[in-house]
Structure 1
Amino acid sequence: MAHIEHLKSLCPLEGLDVVDVGAGDGVYSRQLDAAGAKVTAIEIDPEKVERAKENLPGSIDVKLGAAENLPLTFGSQDLVCLFFSLHHVPIAAQPAAFDEFRRVLGTNGRLHIVEPYPYGTMFDVVRLVEDETIVRTISHQLLNHMDRDQRFALENKREYVLTREYPSFEFFLEKIVLPDPARAKTYEAVAPEMADTFNRAVEYLDGRFVLHQPCAAYHFSVTG
């Protein structure tokens, strides 16, 4: 709940029209809904859209779409959120994505983007099957220079660490690697190295085996 709790400290969610861009299976859409927001979940993967429609509360509107082509009307949203999804938007499409964020936001709209850093024990393990060093670095560079964009003003930036529990390497594989066909295929070539990296990186904390992922949350207001 770290993402949503931080967001709630900046922007009360009750009754707001909120779009979760790159929603995946809807983990954060569900949390936004529980906080009282009227949520639209946007996901580009048709299979994830179908799973989300089956598993999420009926109060959440799930739509197929991309960050650079949102299926929403002009000025219809109070808040646009991206949780660990901006770096998945192709770099060439990111300018169009920000055009879309501004188009769907109302006059007093907010834009909230959380991105993981390309380091941390979680990253050290996952990068063996999907190395996101470059795309994560570019996303943070973009967000740290949004002062060049006259439409958004940075209101708050906060860095924090997500701590995730993985009681075994097998559990980690089942949750993080094997559900993704591309990661699963790559894993075949790095299995011993990945197991060794996991065992060296995992920390025993408060009776739990955990990995840490540092990230930063950027909260913008609409200025023009």
Structure 2
Amino acid sequence: MHIDHLKSLRPLQGLIITDVGAGDGVYSRELDAAGATVTAIEVDPIKVAKALTGLPRTIDVKLGAAEDLPLGDKSQDLVCLFFSLHHVPSNVQSEALEEFHRVLKPTGRLHIVEPHPYGTMFDVVRLVEDETEVRTNSHALLTGLDGRHGFQLVDMKQYVLTREYPTFEFFVEKIILPDPERRQAYEANSADIEDTFNRVKESREGRVVLHQPCTAFHYSLTQ
């Protein structure tokens, strides 16, 4: 859904795009399939190693942080962050914005999608990692970014990301166990987490789903 919305704003074929906070590269893969030349940047070496083995060779995978991008000046048509800005420490988010501006071409765009601190997905995940504060702060930053740091808001759209988790065990395997800190929190509170999952889950067309509302912010550079 993230990439479909992005396509509605700008054709991706032939663009040079960086996916910042790419994780194991799920959205980098979609950008590559849309015909873009993609660089996936991730700060976690373990996720970088996974991306290097799991992504198409057409995607350039790099270890790097949002506030110190391993990219040349004015080299990118599009910089994207999908659910990753709130993971950038607040004390370096301004530096990260400067980096995004540095690497974008004069005609480039910045596209950031952030989850809200509410929704059924959040209701469950917050029991192992409460991101209320960091998500609230990231939305405040993006809402106030228009006309600051060299960026101008072009489009803002709210939508709901729906994800399928057939069983609680499947949810735990995908969302909790890969992260050591979440795993520890789960082991200390597993019964409450399972109860919450069963209470808020929704059945849609025979599928068990959770919903995560988010907002996509799309910026151009100020001239």
TM-score tier (shorter): over 0.9
Per the alignment, residue 144 of structure 2 pairs with: 145
Per the alignment, residue 178 of structure 1 pairs with: 177
Per the alignment, residue 116 of structure 1 pairs with: 115
Per the alignment, residue 9 of structure 1 pairs with: 8
Using the TM superposition, give the Cα deviation of residue 147 of structure 1 relative to its aligned residue in structure 2, in angstroms: 2.2
Per the alignment, residue 45 of structure 2 pairs with: 46
Greater alpha carbon shift after TM alignment, 144-153 vs 213-222: 144-153
Letter in 2 for 1:216: T
Whole-angstrom distance in 1 between the partners of 2:61 and 2:117? 30
Greater alpha carbon shift after TM alignment, 139-148 vs 28-37: 139-148
Whole-angstrom distance in 1 between the partners of 2:180 and 2:165? 21
TM-score by length of 2: 0.99
Asked whether 1:200 is paired with 2:199, we answer: yes
Unaligned ranges ≥5, structure 2: none
Letter in 1 for 2:152: A
Whole-angstrom distance in 2 between the partners of 1:130 and 1:201? 17
Deviations 1:152-181 (A, max 9, x none): 100000000001000100000000000111
Letter in 1 for 2:216: A
Q: Where does structure 1 differ by over 3 angstroms across 4 or more consecutive aligned residues? A: none
Deviations 1:136-161 (A, max 9, x none): 00000000001240511000000000
Percent identity between the two aligned chains: 67
Whole-angstrom distance in 1 between the partners of 2:88 and 2:196? 28
RMSD: 0.6
Deviations 1:87-112 (A, max 9, x none): 00000010000000000000101000
Number of residue pairs matched by the alignment: 223
Per the alignment, residue 132 of structure 1 pairs with: 131
Per the alignment, residue 30 of structure 1 pairs with: 29
Asked whether 1:86 is paired with 2:56, we answer: no
Letter in 1 for 2:94: P
